[in-house]
């Protein structure tokens, strides 16, 4: 039997890299543990609307919401439409005024005089104020959005403005942040989350005007921009940044609906980087999705979201339909309170959004991890086709030098991505390769009992998972900095981590075994076996098996990442919800439901000497779980402790399902023997 030697120097490099990785992982864990405060935000307008629907004072509703757990209210820029509805101003088109005049219904002497002197134009818009401060802000906002030439004061005493604009459009334009609303929110004991929008041709005065409005407001916690651009984009981002630093406010990064990075707002991420990463990730349940969720389901989503995706600002929408036996206000108060209680029970605190300190790993530790990953790659090559130690060391040194230099210079993002990808692909394969070589080196005589299969399955799976965890630690550490925590940067190559290990383990398997042979003979070489497979007769059952495998591959690859078009069955969603409640970290289905049980069946196939192709198929499926386990750590927004526990939970659940699978197959084999011995009536 051909032996494959594991170079001890390469193994030592891997161990040293693991020590460096564990050091970074511990530092990363400490950083993550210091940012556990969740800011609970609702829209100010939602609170006002709830009060109107309930017929209750706004102060009373605000007080109850604050007691339920809301810490902050988001205040948007006002519009003429909002001001009209609230009665703070009145807006009318010139055409309406002229129509009233000619119909004889315009009784006010001032307005009649304006018409008769030709100062009312049918295509213009006219605004009448009530409060001097609000009127002054509206005038200022319109001048900034349009120009001084297009905004004219017709009567200072009566507070009448003339605006040259389209009536239907101007009433919907964002004007500016309303100071009266922000002061009111602050006076009620809430943080203010300001939501300004950018200007079409932004100027210095526009940016300064926004922060002048904020200057007199206490407790401004965050800026959450509206629209596709950050305030000041493209040329005045530095001015916005200067003002943000002066106010020490947090920049809000709104998570994309696909839960991958952010809703695109030009200039926001560079500004957050320049703000020393004083930024927080925001999640909001999509408006069209929330009505479909029961309150309990939405509460559970918030808890899981904050635990798994480093969300630190929960932007809660109100429910528009009351639950049976409750008022609409009671429904929303209970919803908010349950979110708060669930977060507190999960170890979070409620307050101003926590932010991550600007953590970056020591470059020398990164170099050690890189050398370890290169050693793992070289080791894999030697396990495919052995070559001399001299060439192994030369390859190790050469690649390590090429990768290490950029890291020591303080850059090397491409190198770090390459190391992470290598680790995510190679370590699961090395773990399964070790198991295959262990199987080849042992005697299977007397190991075919059910008890022996379960015992060896548990032991082998635990060791294999621990070896794969080494790759997880490499990935979690090499990309373990604040940019990845906030998902400003993401791991590239998710699809590759699902496909490549299956190809590589196939190569390994073909170097150890003859795929179409039942007896444990040596592999005849990869190419010879491929040729033999291509010349193998094709049966209808072979075509059906291939079709099923293709469908499985489509689902497997399509369900990875965040752009999948493969739907998730309702029963799986319910199972996920149950596991999220029952376990600290929900294990991944492809691990405990597919890969780990396949590992047990692979042991059974080996000990019972099933056809070699069956054993190969089970080994490949078992590798899926190992690759998935390592890929879990590539979700850098998830706390590293949760990723680790998820892998352990998956292993424990996988052992349970694996034992059930082995027993089930044993029962089926027994029944097939019994039924096969039953005589026929007309024999």
Distance CA 370, CA 364 (A): 10
Give CA angle at 388 (384, 394), nearest 5°: 100
Rounded to an integer, what distance in angstroms lies between the CA atom of residue 651 and that of residue 638? 19
Instruction: Note whether 302 and 244 are within 8 A (CB).
Output: no
Three-state SS for 59-106 is HHHHHHHHHHCCCEEEEECCCHHHHHHHCCEEEEEHHHHHHHHHHCCC
How much is the pLDDT for 271?
94
Q: How far apart are CA 367 and CA 305, in angstroms?
A: 33
Three-state secondary-structure class, residue 436: helix
Residue matched to tokens 């969603």: 573
Closest of 366, 360, 380, 349 to residue 71, by C-alpha: 349
* Contact status, residue 618 vs residue 552, Cβ threshold 8 Å: no
Contact present, 89 and 138 (Cβ < 8 Å): yes
**Closest of 631, 378, 398 to residue 492, by C-alpha:** 631
Closest by Cα among 311, 344, 339, 300 to 68: 339
Q: Is the dihedral of CA 454, 459, 460, 462 positive or negative?
A: positive
Phi, psi of 40 (to 5 degrees): -100, 110
Contact 282, 250 (CB under 8 A): no
The residue whose two tokens read 């990064």 is 253
Predicted local distance difference test score (pLDDT) of residue 562: 47
Quick one: tokens of 74?
């988001």
| Residue 612 Rama label (left phi>0; alpha psi -120 to 50; beta) | alpha
DSSP lists the bridge partners of residue 39 as 313
Q: Is the four-CA dihedral 633, 582, 555, 257 of positive or negative sign?
A: negative
| Residues of the chain falling short of pLDDT 50 | 519-520, 541, 562-564, 680-683
The span from the CA of 193 to the CA of 42, in Å, is 9
Residue 200 has what pLDDT?
85
Delimiting residues of CATH 3.20.20.150 domain(s) in the chain:
36-77+176-350
Q: What's the CA gap between 380 and 359, in Å, rounded?
A: 33
Which of 92, 118, 117 has its CA nearest to residue 105? Answer: 92
Query: What's the pLDDT score for residue 144?
Result: 85
pLDDT at res. 575:
67
DSSP assigned state of 148: G
CB 288 within 8 A of CB 273: no
Q: Which residue has the tokens 């908010």?
A: 336
Contact 317, 74 (CB under 8 A): no
pLDDT of residue 569: 61
Q: What is the length of the chain?
A: 683
Determine the angle formed by the axes of helices 612-632 and 596-607, rounding to 10 degrees: 150
At 196, is the secondary structure helix, strand, or coil? coil
pLDDT of residue 563: 45
Superfamily of domain 36-77+176-350: Divalent-metal-dependent TIM barrel enzymes (3.20.20.150)
CA 191 to chain centre: 26
CA distance 622 to 505: 10
Q: Which tokens in the block code for residue 247?
A: 């106010």
> Would you state the pLDDT for residue 682?
44
How many CB atoms are located within 10 Å of the residue 399 CB?
18
How many CA atoms lie less than 13 Å away from 637 in the CB half-sphere? Answer: 23
DSSP state letter for 594: I
Strand order across the 160-163 sheet: 89-93, 125-129, 160-163, 151-155
With 0-12 / 13-18 / 19 or more C-beta atoms within 10 angstroms meaning exposed / middle / buried, residue 27 is: middle
């Amino acid at each position: 039997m051909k032996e494959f030697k594991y170079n001890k120097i390469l193994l030592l490099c891997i161990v040293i890299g693991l020590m460096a990785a564990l050091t970074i992982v511990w530092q990363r864990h400490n950083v993550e543990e210091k940012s556990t405060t969740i800011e609970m935000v609702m829209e100010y307008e939602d609170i006002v609307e709830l009060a109107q629907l309930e017929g209750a004072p706004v102060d009373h509703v605000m007080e109850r919401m604050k007691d339920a757990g809301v810490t902050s209210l988001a205040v948007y820029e006002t519009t003429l439409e909002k001001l009209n509805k609230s009665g703070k101003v009145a807006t009318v088109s010139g055409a309406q005024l002229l129509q009233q005049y000619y119909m004889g219904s315009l009784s006010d002497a001032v307005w009649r005089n304006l018409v008769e002197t030709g100062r009312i134009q049918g295509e213009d818009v006219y605004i009448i104020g009530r409060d001097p401060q609000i009127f002054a802000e509206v005038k200022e906002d319109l001048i900034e959005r349009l120009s001084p030439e297009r905004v004219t004061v017709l009567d200072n005493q009566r507070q009448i403005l003339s605006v040259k604009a389209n009536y239907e459009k101007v009433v919907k334009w964002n004007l500016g942040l309303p100071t009266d609303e922000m002061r009111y929110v602050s006076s009620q004991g809430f943080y203010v989350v300001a939501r300004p929008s950018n200007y079409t041709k932004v100027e210095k005065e526009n940016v300064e005007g926004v922060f002048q409005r904020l200057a007199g407001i206490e407790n401004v916690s965050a800026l959450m921009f509206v629209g596709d651009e950050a305030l000041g984009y493209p040329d005045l981002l530095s001015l916005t940044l200067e003002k943000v630093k002066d106010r020490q406010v947090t920049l809000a990064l709104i998570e994309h609906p696909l839960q991958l990075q952010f809703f695109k707002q030009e200039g926001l991420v560079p500004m957050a980087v320049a703000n020393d990463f004083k930024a927080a990730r925001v999640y909001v349940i999509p408006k069209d999705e929330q009505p479909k969720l029961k309150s309990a389901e939405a509460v559970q989503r918030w808890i899981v979201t904050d635990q798994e995706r480093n969300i630190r600002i929960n932007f809660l929408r109100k429910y528009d339909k009351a639950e049976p036996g409750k008022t609409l206000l009671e429904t929303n108060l209970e919803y908010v309170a349950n979110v708060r209680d669930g977060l507190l029970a999960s170890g979070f605190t409620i307050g101003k959004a926590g932010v991550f300190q600007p953590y970056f790993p020591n470059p020398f530790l990164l170099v050690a991890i890189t050398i370890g990953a290169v050693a793992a790659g070289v080791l894999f090559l030697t396990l495919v086709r052995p070559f001399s130690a001299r060439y192994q060391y030369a390859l190790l040194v050469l690649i390590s030098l090429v990768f290490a230099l950029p890291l020591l210079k303080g850059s090397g993002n491409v190198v770090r991505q390459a190391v992470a990808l290598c680790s995510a692909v190679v370590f699961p394969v090395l773990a399964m390769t070790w198991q295959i070589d262990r199987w080849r080196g042992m005697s299977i005589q007397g190991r075919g009992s059910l008890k022996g299969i379960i015992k060896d399955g548990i032991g082998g799976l635990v060791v294999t998972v621990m070896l794969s965890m080494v790759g997880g630690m490499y990935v979690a550490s090499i990309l373990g900095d604040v940019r990845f925590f906030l998902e400003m940067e993401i791991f590239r190559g998710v699809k590759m981590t699902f496909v490549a290990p299956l190809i590589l383990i196939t190569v390994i398997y073909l170097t150890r075994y003859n795929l179409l042979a039942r007896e444990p003979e040596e592999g005849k070489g990869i190419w010879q076996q491929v040729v033999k497979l291509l010349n193998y007769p094709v049966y209808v059952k072979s075509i059906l098996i291939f079709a099923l495998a293709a469908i499985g591959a489509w689902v497997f690859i399509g369900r990875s990442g965040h752009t999948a078009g493969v739907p998730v069955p309702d029963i799986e969603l319910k199972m996920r919800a149950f596991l999220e409640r029952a376990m600290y970290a929900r294990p991944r289905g492809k691990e405990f439901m597919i890969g780990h049980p396949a590992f047990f069946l692979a042991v059974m196939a080996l000990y019972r000497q099933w056809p070699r192709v069956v054993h190969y198929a089970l080994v490949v499926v078992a590798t899926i779980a190992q690759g998935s386990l390592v890929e879990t750590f590539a979700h850098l927004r998830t706390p590293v402790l949760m990723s680790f526990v998820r892998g352990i939970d998956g292993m424990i659940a996988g052992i349970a399902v694996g034992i059930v699978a082995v027993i089930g197959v044993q029962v089926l084999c027994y029944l097939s023997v019994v039924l096969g011995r039953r005589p026929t009536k007309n024999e």
